[in-house]
Structure 1
């Protein structure tokens, strides 16, 4: 932000403040016209394919190498497979769908008024279907390992409580969604520290480092589509016991990250750039007889 001095007709100094960046307007919450646009359905297909590939590569690496295999890539390799795949897929799909590839990211961006409720809902459905299909491909190619190693599903590790698992998922998703907001921030783009082709890099690195700390606790979900897909395909009771953690945790983490970035980091006007407080009586037209 910069200041410019000017003088009015009476000789008094007047200060004008301008921004060197343009803050995107909050997206309409209910844009029904989107349903008629090919751009929406093209984006939905991109989200489906990207989530399918993400789950296929990440879960395939986890299942194929096995946590106890001496010749496997180990936890570091599995974490890198998830992080690097996100980097590649966000780079490929960001210009089409925004490169969410995660219902928690979609929710976080919806809360920040970055897309409509309709688009967010359809994205999440596509992501869930992509997660199931991606896990199905892993099972089709590695059926024995998939069954023996639990399908790469997420669950709280033995000896740890559900509270610990929930906290890990909240913190991990908070980091991810906070980085997503920061990497796509309008002010960052204008201040010269933004390179479009490298914007997906910090997002991929965030997924990588979060996996390093969270795999020993929950196997690292931070993405309901990644957790739900393998659970559906493996369909074992153990996969469902802790499934709620991999929905509640990421959604809480995404909500906190969106609120933190919008209100603390950017100090944007309350009620304009966050979904929850935007409905007020001033926006409701009342008619009297």
Structure 2
């Protein structure tokens, strides 16, 4: 148990307890309905996320097509800003809806980062990633089913490295973008922060969604913004053209590296987990 010191006499902070690390392999977890309910929630949330966001991308490309809108195509549709809002807004909504059930990951990179930090077990992490990828495929499949002609014509919302950018630049964009997202997830859900700032009603999904929004503004011109392997994988599977697969590895390797760095930075630098563990071990041997 740890307690934060009251500052300035104005606010009283709460005691907090860091939850124990999740078991690496929790066999008992497989027998619990709560696990499968969480997996279903991840599937449905990722499906909805991909449906709304990819439909937004397709709609924007159609509205701004000079062959369709001959008068003012450049200013038609939601624009890059609107696409970024669609991604960030949907993450805010879906994390808010599912956080109490599954944790609201909706992203294999987030799940991977939380697994490295021992926030979820290996079994839960694997099932989440499978559910997220299947949900993404179904979500993009819905877009194609409802808008098949537009879907094929406008690239299916698939991520690809933009012309003029090297593979290194695209990989760096995905690493840094995912780092920002996963770092925000750790900070927004940190029990110590929640206790210290208990007088400030911070809604965790809000900064997470806003992080997604900001990263999209920076990286849409480079990679179309992946930072979510399930999002990239679902679009690539349904579109299934060469350009969707050519640089697909970037949208797995980059997010996983970024998530790993964010987990290590938060746990071992900001929270100094390694130092705490060594100190506890030292005291127990005294």
The answer to which of 63-72 and 42-51 deviates more is: 63-72
Aligned partner of 1:26 among 5, 13, 21: 21
1:1-289 equivalence runs, <5 A: 1=3, 20-66=15-61, 68-69=64-65, 70=73, 71-193=76-198, 198-269=203-274
The answer to which of 175-184 and 138-147 deviates more is: 138-147
TM norm structure 1: 0.86
* Contact kept? 2:4, 2:196, Cα under 8 Å: no
Deviations 1:172-227 (A, max 9, x none): 00000000000000111111257677110000000000000000000000000000
Would the alpha carbon gap of residues 226 and 51 (structure 1) be closer, same or farther in structure 2, given more than 3 Å must change?
same
* Contact kept? 1:135, 1:230, Cα under 8 Å: yes
Would the alpha carbon gap of residues 194 and 179 (structure 1) be closer, same or farther in structure 2, given more than 3 Å must change?
farther
Distance 1:169 1:195 in 2: 32
Distance 2:143 2:97 in 1: 22
Quote the offset at 1:2 in angstroms: 5.6
Distance 2:103 2:201 in 1: 13
Larger proportion of strand: 1
Q: CA RMSD for the aligned pairs?
A: 1.9
The answer to which of 250-259 and 135-144 deviates more is: 135-144
Deviations 1:215-246 (A, max 9, x none): 00000000000000010001001100010000
Distance 1:194 1:156 in 2: 44
Runs of 5+ unmatched residues, structure 1: 4-18, 274-289
DSSP 3-state at the match of 1:101:
coil
Runs of 5+ unmatched residues, structure 2: 6-13, 66-72, 279-286
Quote the offset at 1:164 in angstroms: 0.6
* Contact kept? 1:91, 1:197, Cα under 8 Å: no
Quote the offset at 1:272 in angstroms: 6.0
Quote the offset at 1:271 in angstroms: 9.5
Q: Name the counterpart of 2:9.
A: none
Distance 1:196 1:223 in 2: 28
Distance 2:43 2:225 in 1: 21
Distance 1:149 1:241 in 2: 18
* Contact kept? 1:26, 1:272, Cα under 8 Å: no
